[in-house]
Chain A
Amino acid sequence: MNRLVGVCLLFLLAAVRPSFAQVPDSAELVHQWNRCVIEVIMEDGFGPPIAARIHAYANLAGYQAAYHGFPGYRSLVGTLQGFTKCPEPEQGKVYDWRVSMVAAYQIACQKLLYRITISDSLAKVHFAALAAVVPKDVFDRSKQYGIDVGKAIQAYAKGDGYARTQGMPEWEWPKCDSCWEPTPPNFAKPLSPYCGMVRTIAIKSATQFPVPPRINFSKERGSEFYKAAKETYDVVRTLTPEQREIANFWNDNPVVTSYRGHFIYNTRQISPGGHWMNVAMQVMRDKRSSMIKALEVYSMLGFGLFDAFTSCWAEKYRSPLIRPVTYINRYIDNAWEPLLQTPPFPEHASGHSTITAAAAEILTFQFGDVAYTDSTEVPFGFTVRSFKNFRQAAAEASISRLYGGIHYRRGCEAGAVQGAEIGKYIVATVKFR
């Protein structure tokens, strides 16, 4: 069909082929679905908040379609915001929960992703393998149940107000000295300005955990704000090789646009949320976690990312703060460029810091303080980095935005505070067992 799908399928099939005749390890099915979602999000070019929403709903579908097979696990109906109903399997009938799960992932993805030929192809591969080992009546019944769950998740997702945010007028940014404005080199329109209005999934509302305030704006030399911008400026000018590596490692900007004459091209990278989903995948593959564990971890992590982004975005567009590049070019050095391309939305607070802190809380809850090696960025040309535990990684991700020249230190710290609160709340309230 097309080159892209070809490449992607090749990648997925390569993982599947050795045991094509057999069913892949059950947990591996879950990992492959999450890998697929990460890849398609990159191809589709979804912004980070929308990507997090996709991770959350896709894995919720997988979990809801499969948890019945695992004693002690329970439905999340009633636990999540506005999640009031989800189909139950028929009593006394035999199901293969892998089949249900694959069907639920596929159906949910059809309304979440754009390039669904890729996710449909993965479902086809999985179904073919499972059909060979599952009796036909069980297979059909399980698949139908998965489809029903997938549709229920579609309906649940549709109710969160996301579609309406896509039909709203473009956001008019206010004009003032402290206000955010589009940043070089692309001066792109503000990204997903209404994503803070979408219903949260696990926390009560986007403002449940307030963000520590920004530094009071001033353009006066010597003011606290000036000093904060100057710090970003100085840090970028005197980066150590390791700081540079850290900044690039955690860049996670899904789309970086570059120009060569008439030729315009986009760099694709994993999104911040995708980065953490991938960390979870690496850890679970190492630990050989079970299928239900994988579903639980991906789901909870997805909820954390989704709610953290929603909360962070609500604040970003409530108090649209000027980016360092704009401030520094205007008041300190008009030729300065940050190390990383400034993403197109207001500064306060750092989205990466917020979602990273939430993710670290959730992964620590799930796995404890484990050391791990993160190779997420290898396909993008960076090295692996090793961490003592998730919280250390989160701290590094947070400060990386200062090294990259795209945030003030306060923005990084404030985001980390809010994210950790969100993560802790989810760990305490969203019970899978």
Chain B
Amino acid sequence: MSLTNRARGWVLVMFITMACSTVGMAQRFIRLDPITTGVMFANHITESDSFNIYNDIYAYNGGGVAVGDINADGLPDLFFTGTSVPCALYLNRGNFQFDDITETAGITLKGICNGAMMADLSGDGLVDIYVCRRHASNMYYVNNGDNTFTERAIASGIAVNKSSTQAAAIDIDRDGDLDLYIVNNGEARRLGFLNPGENDQLFRNDGDNHFTDVTALSGIKDKGYGLSASVGDLNNDGWPDIYVANDFEERDKLYMNDGQGLFEETTMKHLPYMSQFSMGSDIADINNDGLLDILTVDMLPESHARRMTQIGGMSKYGPFFDSAQRIHNTLQLNRGNDRFTDIAYLAGIAATDWSWSVLCADFDNDGLTDIFISNGTKRDLGDQDVSYHVASERDLRNDAYKQIPTTRLRNYYFANTGTLQFDSRAGAVGLIDSVITNGAAYADLDGDGDLDLVLNNTDTVAFIYRNQTIEDGPEGHAFLRIQLQGRKLNKAALGARVDLYAGGLHLVREVQASRGYLSSVDPTVHFGLGATRNIDSMVIRWPDGFVNVLKDLAVNIDITVVENPTARWIAPAPPVTIFQEIPKTSIPFKHRENFYDDFKRERLLPSKFSIDGPGLAVGDVNGDGLEDVILTGAKYSPTQLFLQTATQQFVRDSLCGLEDITDAEDVSVALFDIDGDKDLDVLIVTGGNEFDIEDEELRDRLYLNNGKGVFTLVPDGVPTGLQSGCKVVLGDIDGDKDLDVFIGGRVIPGRFPEAPRSYLLRNDKGKLVDVTQKQGPDLSTMGLISHASFSDYDKDGDADLFVVGMWMSPKLFQNNKGSFKDVSKAAGLEGHEGWYNCVASADIDADGDVDYIIGNLGTNSFYVDRKNDPIDIVYADFDENGSVDPIMSYVPERVRMPARGKQVLQGHMPVLTRSYPFFRDYAVATTDDVLSKTSVKPIDTLYVRSFASTVLRNNGASGFSFEPLPDMAQLSPVMAILPMDVNGDGAVDLVMAGNFTGAEGEIIGYDAGIGNVLLNDGAGHFTDVRADSSGFVVPGDARNIASIPWGANKTLVIVARNNHRPRLFVVDRPRPKDRR
């Protein structure tokens, strides 16, 4: 007995010691005891049989925090809103001591209060408080200057009663006073019937503490269930823009200010997609490129078990499925050309569970913007087991809400690492409490130079986390604090922008009150400056459009800058771009993809195979010396030829003979002289997933050119049988000076992931002969092929074959007198299974041999994790009902788990319902557990271990080394690569485009990208050119890229896009030789 006790004592001591040392090393936040701070506010949400989640859909949305200096003593004061408790106002007495002055201040508020904002709306230099309320009129407390307030919402014309969530103070017309944007919400919501929320409202400040509703004129049309609005000059034109985050099916709205105080809703021109259940939001520059980025938070859980129990019911077949809305956080990176790219997965911030607030600030004063995200709901409203079993609305017992479980998780803190990848460090920085936090705000409460955090918690006392950065030693954590003083009514200069330059550092701040969720922050400008000792200059752009410049400032100081208008701010001229886009209609072609839902037949398919086109080929078909263009048509559309005219126009030649067959899905086309008659003939590969394996539409087609660009179909000209094919490639395999053909098998329609057949076709004087079994038996069934390249990797003078595909490693086949031998292993290609879409060859390091660039899925997606764990698919007809059952797995937490949700898996394999009737059981089932429920043995397992698009550097005899392209090239799948020197330095640069919108229902799309131009330093190292400088912008599903000479010294680059028009760019460089 005594021995056991002693042993236990030792363990305890050791544990404490270790815990202390860990804390001492890394902690930056310390939670202060409410007894010592005096902040005892706790947002208890008191449920009753008449107030709970069944009666009010927003019963658990919690409260916010407003921060502002109400008595102008330099110390930020705090205001908390409550759901079932009264709001509270705390005066900051310094040294983290607060006095509750709610009563004496005259603020008595009951009922559900949502957002609060502290801002000087009245323009008298004193901070006022505006409180949004649910089911009640908003309140406007005007500061009397003696720590008391007078409520005058009605008198000021802003007594809005539309269940508002938050207000934002914003000088929309730059007239020097603060106008008011109010985010409104709605009442009960029923799916399936017209059911809008309340329209948001915009009030113009009349200048005499009265506001006029100008919503109708302003262009604000938001009928959504708005939960937050963030303000910032997103397009850097000097005028404030607004981002509204909407819950449910109403899209988020991005309102661009037209420069006259009116707004235009142009969201989808700027964003690829957005969060679906958007809650909090913030606008800040997260990568120090001088451009403001947008963050929104949603409800995707990080842990596998919670994803399976909380999100298990979401489906793309819901009544209001919208492919533009995704259930995860977004970090919309500003590309500088009015376009944003969501990089949330690459950044590692996409999944933070049921999230409310997101705040971007430099919490560790290292010059990089960090991210805080709060989360939690009083009850797990997404719990699928509860949803499944709760009785009907009619039968709901009044206390049924009590059955919904409660989970408390940590909040999230992401440290900016200086790359685009953030480090999740809540525990390490001391945010170790598991708590339900709704609104939050930051402020330097003790004025020491670092930002403290204030959290409004559900059912728990509010937290104040003291930031220890300065206390730990300011060395390397320099700061600058700036109080701005406007000259007009907007004395706090809300909306002002500060650009700070120090050495190579360029930091941007915009002064905004409302940020995150239901909350407003202190308007003091705070810069973390890391090791910086001197600030070169600071440009202050005042909200009324004037500018002041300060030079040579010290660090670690507080300064006050008073507006002293000398010059008007003028927007910088846009950079000169490498590429100039010419009108899409220059080639009068629009690819029309037929709608086919692959997932109806193959519910467990990870991505569609029916949206591969259009194929693209260029060449002079009519012998006039000008290169013409062929673009292939999807099912129901013809493949079309566009002849280039002498005036650089393209004219469709509908009589060319290629347009007769429209039932097939033409995915690839090649132009080459097959029969040696000195004209270009046409080979078309058909593909798609909408056919059955023996359908005639899958027959590939060969057309002969009569020399004038008129084509005749050669019956059975391509001996590839009835197969769904991928991109065709050409090479001279037998040294007879004519081009031979490789056509990879893309997929067996309806039978993913069984390997289809690929074909090597020898050109025997114009006749294509299948020589796969004879000359390349290893090529026959390699896997799901996407693309290939004939190129001489070993410099022995013949064409070798490099092949890429999905769920397989790249493969290299050495040409030996026309026969192909698999040398993948010796080349070092094994174990690099990827989701490869394309390959290009070029000598990137000018060492005389061929290197490869392979386009992959990219690293900005759900399944990519930092630990490089693979995903895999194991398949067989496990339930013996005739269909292939591909079970996809990933490794969320060390163990291989089924990637797809219970409903999808059981929708395809209903018998598994017997094994996993409950979501909570399925949530902990490993893939091996699931497989053990069937007696059928798996046929095979396929992997993806590499997600990055990569350079394969040819090291000669020692094989290839994989060198991933930079993060900015990993934002979405790369589908097409054009190697060409775009800046005339002699090194081969890369022009790339991609995106893929055909992902399964939970992912929806891998489509954040807008294309890239990567410059080569000469040694094969690439850097991304910012989109506003490259001029190369390709949103949508790019599939193929080609270039043709454009006049004497220019090149036209054509990017073919699925279901869109091609995009066309001219670059002031000659077209590289042998590059189509």
Contact = CB atoms under 8 A, between A and B. Distances in A.
Interface of A: 2, 4, 43-45, 113-116, 163-164, 166-170, 172, 182, 184-187, 189, 256, 258-269, 335, 337, 380-381
A249 to B, nearest CB: 13
B557 interface: no
A322 B684 CA distance: 42
B881 A263 contact: no
B880 interface: yes
Contacts of A380: 392, 395
9 contacts: A184-B319, A187-B192, A263-B54, A263-B57, A265-B387, A267-B393, A268-B392, A381-B394, A381-B395
Most chain A C-beta atoms within 10 Å of own C-beta, residue among B54, B188, B914, B917 = B917
B275 to A, nearest CB: 13
Contacts of B880: 163
Contacts of B10: none
Interface string B385-399: 011111111110000
A262 B188 CA distance: 11
A268 to B, nearest CB: 7
B193 interface: yes
B57 A185 contact: no
A115 B917 CA distance: 6
B387 A185 contact: no
A167 B393 contact: no
B190 A259 contact: yes
B999 interface: no
Contact of A266 (B54, B388, B603, B918): B388
A50 to B, nearest CB: 9
Given A170-B603, A185-B190, A381-B392, 20 more contacts: A2-B918, A44-B913, A44-B917, A166-B879, A166-B881, A168-B883, A169-B600, A170-B597, A170-B601, A186-B191, A186-B192, A260-B54, A261-B189, A261-B248, A262-B299, A263-B53, A265-B390, A267-B392, A267-B395, A335-B193
Contacts, number: 105
A265 B403 CA distance: 13
B881 A167 contact: yes
Interface in B308-340: 313, 317-319
A2 B920 CA distance: 11
A114 B191 contact: no
A269 B299 CA distance: 31
B187 to A, nearest CB: 11
B24 interface: no
Contact of A268 (B248, B391, B597, B883): B391
Given A164-B881, A166-B881, A381-B394, A262 B381 contact: yes
B882 interface: yes
B492 to A, nearest CB: 36
B395 A258 contact: no
Interface in B11-69: 53-54, 57-58
Contact of B277 (A166, A260, A262): A262
B250 to A, nearest CB: 13
A167 B882 contact: yes
Contacts of A4: 389
A337 B193 contact: yes
Nearest to B598: A169
Contacts of A189: 317
A50 B681 CA distance: 57
A414 B750 CA distance: 38
Given A2-B918, A164-B881, A167-B881, A264 B392 contact: no
Nearest to A169: B601
Contacts of B277: 262
Nearest to B400: A265
Contacts of B188: 260
B600 A262 contact: no
10 tightest A-B CB contacts, nearest first: A185-B192, A261-B57, A167-B881, A267-B392, A184-B192, A170-B600, A169-B601, A187-B319, A167-B883, A265-B390
A266 B390 contact: yes
B656 to A, nearest CB: 34
Contacts of B831: none
B400 to A, nearest CB: 9
B565 interface: no
B901 interface: no
Contacts of A381: 392, 394-395
Contacts of A168: 883
Most chain B C-beta atoms within 10 Å of own C-beta, residue among A184, A262, A269, A337 = A262
B910 interface: yes
B914 A114 contact: yes
B382 interface: yes
Contacts of A267: 391-395
A266 B386 CA distance: 9
Nearest to B881: A167
A260 B319 contact: no
Contacts of B387: 263-266
A259 B882 contact: no
B193 A262 contact: no
Contacts of A263: 53-54, 57, 381-382, 387
Contacts of A265: 386-388, 390, 393
A87 B705 CA distance: 72
A12 B386 CA distance: 23
A322 B530 CA distance: 68
A194 to B, nearest CB: 11
A157 to B, nearest CB: 13
Given A163-B880, A266-B387, A266-B388, A261 B58 contact: yes
Nearest to B319: A187
Contacts of A170: 597, 600-601, 603
Contacts of B883: 167-168
A185 B191 contact: yes
Nearest to A382: B394
Contacts of B918: 2
B189 A259 contact: yes
Contacts of B917: 43-44, 114-115
Nearest to A187: B319
Interface string B358-395: 00000000000000000000000110001111111111
B932 to A, nearest CB: 17
Contacts of B395: 267, 380-381
Nearest to A380: B395
B935 to A, nearest CB: 13
Contacts of A262: 57, 277, 299, 381-382
Nearest to B53: A263
Contacts of B393: 258, 265, 267
Given A258-B392, A261-B53, A381-B394, A163 B881 contact: yes
Interface string B591-634: 00000010011010000000000000000000000000000000
Interface in B1016-1049: none
A116 B53 CA distance: 33
Nearest to B391: A267
A43 B918 CA distance: 11
A379 to B, nearest CB: 9
B603 to A, nearest CB: 8
A337 B191 CA distance: 13
Given A167-B882, A185-B319, A261 B381 contact: yes
A115 B57 CA distance: 32
Nearest to A183: B192
A423 B50 CA distance: 49
A342 to B, nearest CB: 10
Nearest to B393: A258
Nearest to A2: B918
Contacts of A184: 192-193, 319
Contacts of B189: 259-261
A68 to B, nearest CB: 31
A113 B881 contact: no
B387 to A, nearest CB: 5
Nearest to B921: A2
A251 to B, nearest CB: 10
